[in-house]
């Protein structure tokens, strides 16, 4: 039995987000025959405008419980000062601030509950999605969608120009 056969046979098909469930529970090494591949060059100089990979989450889940998840959501939301969202031609992402910042302020977004739970939990361990957690996740999603809509309106000219440039290249 290959790694893929093992992980796909063990997947729970009725989960709400099947693809994330599969990808979040398979060792990434299995895609590369057990060899870890790093496709980056840490010595490469930064390029202005392409720095969103430096944006951190303002919190992490410290405890695998409803309280730990709710504490994470509250702390992450309080520290979040930007969103990373689709912009221009796919698959480009852009980082937009959600409030005024001063020079030197660190940029924080929210990676979301699933990111941290996948990082903290054992393969079949879980934290139930209680009504309180679902309500807070809904608030975060509404904030995210609202931020995308504001950015789409505010930067409509730039987004349209960017799309036109990419279409001309095609």
Each residue's pLDDT tens digit, 119-138: 776 654 678 889 999 999 89
CA distances from 102 to 51, 81, 97 (A): 18, 11, 11
32 with 55, same domain? Answer: no
- Assess whether 34 and 62 both reside in one domain: no
- For residues 14 and 91, membership in a common domain is answered with no
The reply to whether 55 and 24 lie within a common domain is no
Q: Is-contact 69 61, C-beta < 8 A?
A: yes
Q: What is the mean pLDDT of residues 83-103?
A: 85
Cβ-based burial of 83 (10 A; exposed 0-12, middle 13-18, buried ≥19): buried
Q: Domain total for the chain?
A: 2
Q: What count of residues does the chain have?
A: 170
Query: ∠ at Cα 34 (33, 40), nearest 5°?
Result: 95
The pLDDT of residue 101: 93
Please indicate, yes or no, whether residues 22 and 53 belong to a single structural domain of this protein.
no
Q: Which residue has the higher pLDDT, 140 or 32?
A: 140
What is the predicted pLDDT for the residue at 58? 92
* Average pLDDT score over residue span 106-128: 79
Contact assessment for residue 83 and residue 98, using Cβ atoms and an 8 Å cutoff: yes
Residue 60 in tokens: 């992490």
120 and 135 in a single domain? The answer is yes
Question: How far is Cα 98 from Cα 3, in angstroms, rounded to an integer?
Answer: 42
> Are 155 and 106 in a shared domain?
yes
Q: What local confidence, expressed as pLDDT, does residue 63 receive?
A: 86
Q: Are residues 123 and 157 in the same domain?
A: yes
Span 146-160, pLDDT tens digits = 988 888 888 889 888
- In this predicted model, which residue has the larger pLDDT, 80 or 166? 80
| Percent share of the chain, pLDDT over 90 | 26
Q: pLDDT-derived band of residue 92, with 50, 70 and 90 as boundaries?
A: confident
For residue 18, what are the domain limits?
A: 1-39
Take residue 80 and report the two structure tokens written for it.
């979040």
List the structure tokens of 148: 């995308």
Question: Do residue 90 and residue 165 come from a single domain?
Answer: yes
Q: Is residue 30 located within the same domain as residue 49?
A: no
35 & 48 share domain: no
Same domain for 64 and 1: no
Residue 95 phi/psi, 5° resolution? -105, 125
Question: Rounded to whole angstroms, how far apart are CA atoms 67 and 142?
Answer: 22
């Amino acid at each position: 039995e290959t790694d893929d056969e093992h992980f796909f046979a063990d997947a729970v098909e009725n989960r709400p987000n099947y693809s994330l469930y599969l990808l979040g529970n398979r060792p990434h090494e299995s895609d590369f025959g057990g060899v870890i591949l790093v496709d980056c060059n840490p010595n490469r100089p930064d390029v202005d405008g392409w720095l969103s990979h430096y944006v951190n989450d303002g919190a992490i889940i410290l405890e695998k419980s409803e309280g730990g998840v709710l504490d994470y959501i509250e702390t992450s939301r309080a520290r979040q000062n930007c969103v990373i969202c689709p912009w221009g031609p796919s698959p480009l992402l852009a980082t937009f601030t959600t409030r005024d910042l001063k020079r030197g302020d660190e940029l924080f977004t929210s990676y979301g509950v699933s990111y941290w739970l996948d990082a903290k939990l054992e393969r079949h361990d879980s934290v139930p999605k209680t009504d309180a957690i679902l309500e807070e996740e809904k608030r975060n999603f509404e904030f995210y969608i609202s931020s995308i809509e504001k950015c789409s309106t505010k930067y409509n000219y730039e987004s349209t120009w960017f799309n036109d440039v990419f279409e001309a290249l095609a």
